[in-house]
Structure 1
Amino acid sequence: MFRRSWRHTAAVATVALLALSSVTACGDDSSDAQDLSENRAGAMENYAAGTQFKATEPLSFSVLYNNHPNYPLKNDWLFWKELTARTNVTLDPVAVPLSDYNQKRSLLIGAGDAPLLIPKTYPPDVHAYVSSGAILPVSDYLDLMPNLKDKIEKWNLKPELDTLRQADGKFYLLPGVHEKPWHEYSLVVRTDILDELGLEIPKTWDELYTVLKAMKAKYPDVYPFSDRYSQPNPAGNLLNLLAVSHGLEGAGWNFQHVSWNAGAQKFEYTAATEHYRHILEYLNKLVAEKLLDPESFTQTDDLARQKLANSKSFVISGNAQALVNDYRPDLAATNPKAKITKIPLPVGPAGEINPASRLENGMMISSKARDSKNFVAMMQFVDWLWYSDEGQMFARWGVEGTTYVKDAAGKAGLAEDVDMIGLNPGAPKHLQKDFGFANGVFAYGGKPELVQAFFSAEEQEFQKVMNARTPKSPPPPYPLTDEEREQVSLWETPLKDHVYQATLQFALGQRDLAQWDAYVTELKSKNMDAYLDTVNKAYERYRDEHN
């Protein structure tokens, strides 16, 4: 996840203002220094953070629309009508099925036919479009976006935004921004078994080992832990949870080739670090002592769920959706007395951190937009809808009195006749399907109370624990040139394939961990050192040029 992420006195305000100015100064050209006098048609003269944007004349902007099968596009949604009423802007959606979105986006951009607004874009996807000049260096125009600038300052988002920068020092994606990181996946544990054994919920990976040992002693014919999310990557989620708990950038289904070593001030190859070796030693110990089902590394999700439902296992990984939609119904059918919950991410050597990013997917803007007479108004509109508190509330909740109501304390809740993820079961209308709100194209990012508005009380408690932990510091940027990116792309697949193969062998005991040094030598033969050298030189180059 590029989830997820991505949560004074006059003297302090002055320091904050200086810090904010560095966001645009670091390789960016302030829009004040650019001639936009011919591009202000429809723009507000005194637009500011907290101001309701409304164009001074009717405007229309094209937007690439990711058409989700769970709530297919409808032209009569209240979202469209109300958006125009509030902003004087009509959006013209170019609808593309979710399954074809990335491919269609590439074709449209390549042909020069892309809409002006291109949302639902993840940071790595941007690289392919920078050198062509097809998309706008949006960091040049942050002065037109006071709500975004306000959040960058108040939430100290500059380090995260720096990770988006390209070799020219600019960034080309307006990401979804979160005040607090939002960590989604963890372990799910049968708490009735813990109660039976007189055990507390494990808080660390070492405590999890102790719990699994106790479960095995009581139920010797059971593998206490049998995991899912192992196809196509072995132990995809479990490896990632362990990696981030050890301070690495990611592994398994979120495999990251490099991780930042703050002490050494350089990047290291993730799967060649001592931390990664310790992860494999831990997994090997669980497998050797029959605490972790060896099929966890290869089995289908359905098989893992069956084992949990039939009490052939007591621990599995998952998120809130898997807990509510999969595990509890499965157990209710086979063992109605069973109790199961998602526990906070176990703590590892990295300490009590929240590893999630405060950035998520965001929007590219076609470079054609810069020449439009309505360019400034368009940037103001984007700033209001995607980054103002009011715009984010509108995109997620809709219209007060129609789709939601507020209680005496001012807290929003769904209207009685409107459902969303089962919060009002049986309600005749659906917030997404019938009204177009809570739509992934328009609703993302914000304060925790907004982002978590549709979470169950149980999930909100989980997030409360995770939000109390220290956010993980993002790594420094290391933007590659086009030539460097082309070269490392040739190295990445052979390296990753070998890591996956060796990880499986070490964890299952098919290869002795005494051969660790030989494994690292094998990575070197697949250009690991050249990869690292390229990355570290790019980091040093960017550091020297922009700091």
Structure 2
Amino acid sequence: MKREPTARPLGRAARRLTALATATALTGLAACSGGSGGDDPAGDLNDAGAMSGYAADTTFRATEPVEFSILWTDWPESPVKDSWEIFDEIEERTNVSLELTHVPFSDHVEKRSLLISAGDAPDVIPLVYTGEEQQFAASQAVLPMSDYVEHMPNFQKYVEEWDLGQMIDNLRLADGKYYMVPGLQEVSVPTFTLLVREDVFDEVGAPIPETWDELRGALEKIKAEHPDSKPLADGFEGGSMLNYAAHAFGTVAGWGYGNGTFFDEEKGEFVYAGASDEYRDMLEYFHGLAEDGLLDTESFTATNEGEGTVTEKFAAGEVFAASGAAGTVQEFSTALDATDAKGTYEIVQIAPPGGPAGQVVEPRNFWHGFMLTAETRDHPNFLALVQFLDWLYYSPEARDLLRWGVEGETFTKSDDGEYTLDPEYSLKSFNINLDGDTDIGEDLGYSNNVLSDSTESRALKESYNSPQYVEYIDSVLSTRTPRDPFPPAPLDEVELEQASLLATPLKDTVDTNTLKFIIGDRPLSEWDAYVAELEAQNLQGYLDLINGAYERFAQENG
């Protein structure tokens, strides 16, 4: 008989929610009976509660009840509820209870930084993307995870099976260590790309574009048939479209601008992207679209919120191609369904178009992972914490649990790896079983943003996405080449501070003038003057820092 989720005891969940209602509250280390056990699986590590013989593909279970604190980001649309069974299910399997320190999504990065800097952060810091750990590593506020991954067999297994070793090595900082472990992805495709009205492209006789030049040709045909339209839009202040377009032009831009440098293979050194010929070529392309009325420039100055959004323009037949992710497809579809276009349109998420640099997309990426605060090294259950997190983040058992719930209750999994949600349950955030009485996300806590969206096999990634998105994954993997990652150039603590002081005004200048060049507020004939402005902000000194770090790391790591 199936267990009723709502009948589960609420005591532990309610107790968790009393932890810290705001980011200013403090969470102490959990108190447990300590000392090393009779079997010492990890030398001088505090190993109370740790499993002896813990290995990949086994369920971690602490040998005594333990409690760990974790920073929990609260999304407004998915607040933690007393009825969430996910924490009780984790505890039943692992003997580990989690104490939540809550921070709001709106400023979670700032609150996280304050807590860590003050030494008041909980044990586990999730939702960490690569690069975000550097400031905390420099101040030794977080642990070097590379010292402990030998005790993380699932992590090691999938780094090897999914050929991610070099990418992991690229996380190493100036001391040769890395301070966060990321979410691992068996396959990696750009999250944001171009969404197009395929029915409109067919109407004007334009094939789905494979390159940016082909896209321009299609937009010209659409403009001729729909003269009041500006058929291409972004909706993310340009950050999204420039990000995925830049790779095809041989540069970085928008959301992917990073520290502003790009590794020039021929020169064997880093150059500044915003001052490169490739960046200028990209701006010239988008300026041409804007000049000819093919680009909705308002979508490069505003987010997709409020009035006059790209969604509204998509529904009104004013925009026919725009930036977006899998969720944006549904957003656009909902808007179109409220119009006369219902039942007549087809939105396709296409592989990012190619360009002068080839059919190139972003490098393979990690997803968010976690850091451990420096204080956890003295936790009496430190080794148990490392083993538990290895199970939680990297074991297939835990990944299925976090996404779909309890196998045999909320979902089934066939021999060939196909996941099926039981009809009585829904997952509304992904439009699955909308008639189900209990939402496994909203009501039970599965598929939450903090823990679920991290490590994924290809099968797991495809299991909750639409068939259209699966087709998108196939199209990217079969027709596009990921750009090689840049070689490491880790800065030491002093260099990080120097680089930050230089990088910020340089990026501000790039951002301001990128928009001006595209919309025509500054003519591209002033490009050399713009580059001179960057040089006057000590651009060369900044590049010297980056290239010096690159050369030093290459010499030390041969």
- What TM-score do the two structures reach when normalised by structure 2? 0.86
Give the structure 2 partner of residue 518 of structure 1: 529
Is it true that 1:200 corresponds to 2:202 in the alignment? Answer: no
Matching residue of 2:37: none
Q: CA, structure 1 residues 94+228, in 2 after alignment: closer, same or farther (shift >3 Å)?
A: closer
What is aligned with 1:28? none
Pick one of 429, 440, 461 that aligns with 2:438: 429
Shift of 1:409: 4.3
Q: Tell me the CA shift for residue 540 of structure 1.
A: 0.7
Partner of 2:460: 450
Distance 2:456 2:211 in 1: 30
| Closer, same or farther: CA 133–226 of 1 in aligned 2, 3 Å | closer
Alignment of 1:468-479 (within 5 A): 468=478, 469-479=480-490
| 2:331 aligned with 1:325 | yes
- Does 2:362 align with 1:377? no
**Distance in 2 (alpha carbons) for counterparts of 1:52 and 1:156:** 24
Once the two structures are overlaid, the 10-residue window that deviates more, 131-140 or 291-300, is 291-300
| Deviation readout 1:42-80 (Å, 9 max, x if unpaired) | 222211111222222222222222223322223442212
After TM superposition, list the pairs within 5 Å mapping 1:197-346 onto structure 2. 197-230=204-237, 235-248=238-251, 250-256=252-258, 257-301=260-304, 302-303=307-308, 304-330=310-336, 332-336=338-342, 337-346=344-353
Aligned AA for 1:463?
A: I
Mapped contact 2:68–2:96 kept (Cα < 8 A) = yes
The unaligned stretches of length 5 or more in structure 2 are 1-40
Give CA deviations for 1:358-392 in whole Å, capped at 9, x if unaligned. 21221111222222332222211111110112221
1:288-343 CA distance string (max 9 Å, x none): 33222343432453423333322223222212211212355236414333333222
Superposed, 1:407-426 pairs within 5 Å as: 407=414, 409-420=416-427, 421=429, 422-426=431-435
| Residue pair 2:315, 2:332 contacting (<8 A) in 1 also | no
| 1:116-195 alignment, distance < 5 Å | 116-195=123-202
Letter in 2 for 1:253: W
Q: Tell me if the contact between 2:314 and 2:332 (Cα under 8 Å) persists in the aligned partners.
A: no
CA contact (8 A) 2:269 2:547 kept: yes
Match of 2:494 in 1: 483
Structure 2 contact 312–335 (Cα < 8 Å) conserved: no
Q: Is the 8 A contact 1:181 1:355 kept in 2?
A: no
Distance 1:326 1:113 in 2: 42
The 3-state SS of whatever aligns with 1:123 is: coil
Query: Aligned residues, how many?
Result: 509
**Cα offset, 1:205, TM superposition:** 0.7
Classify 1:313/1:368 alpha carbon distance in 2 versus 1 (closer, same or farther; 3 Å).
closer
Structure 2 letter corresponding to 1:430: D
Structure 1: which 5+ residue stretches go unaligned?
1-33
SS of 1:333's partner is coil
1:460 is matched with: 470
**Equivalent AA in structure 1 for residue 487 of structure 2:** P
- Counterpart of 1:187 in 2: which secondary structure? strand
Task: Measure, in 1, the Cα distance between the counterparts of 2:399 and 2:533.
Answer: 49
Residue 125 of structure 2 contacts residue 370 of structure 2 at CA under 8 Å; is this kept in 1? yes
1:539 corresponds to which letter in structure 2?
A: Y
Deviation, structure 1 residue 447: 0.9
Displacement, 1:100?
4.0
Distance 1:94 1:226 in 2: 39
| Code of the aligned partner of 2:459 | E
The answer to whether the Cα contact below 8 Å between 2:263 and 2:269 also exists between their aligned partners in 1 is yes
Counterpart contact for 2:45–2:382, Cα < 8 Å: no
Contact 2:311–2:335 under 8 Å retained in 1: no
Q: Distance in 2 between matches of 1:536 and 1:317?
A: 34
Corresponding residue of 2:56? 49
Aligned residue in 1 for 2:557: 546
CA distance in 2, matches of 1:131, 1:314: 47
Which digits, 9 at most, give the CA deviation of each residue in 1:432-455, with x for residues without a partner?
121111122222222111123211
Aligned to 1:17: none
Specify the alignment match of 1:498 in structure 2.
509
Percent sequence identity over aligned pairs:
40
CA contact (8 A) 1:236 1:251 kept: yes
- On the 8 A contact 1:495/1:528 being kept in 2, the answer is yes
Aligned partners of 1:55, 1:489: CA distance in 2, in Å?
43
CA distance in 2, matches of 1:114, 1:447: 31
Q: Secondary structure at the match of 1:518?
A: helix
Q: Is the 8 A contact 1:309 1:334 kept in 2?
A: no
Where 2:79 maps in the other structure, the secondary structure is coil
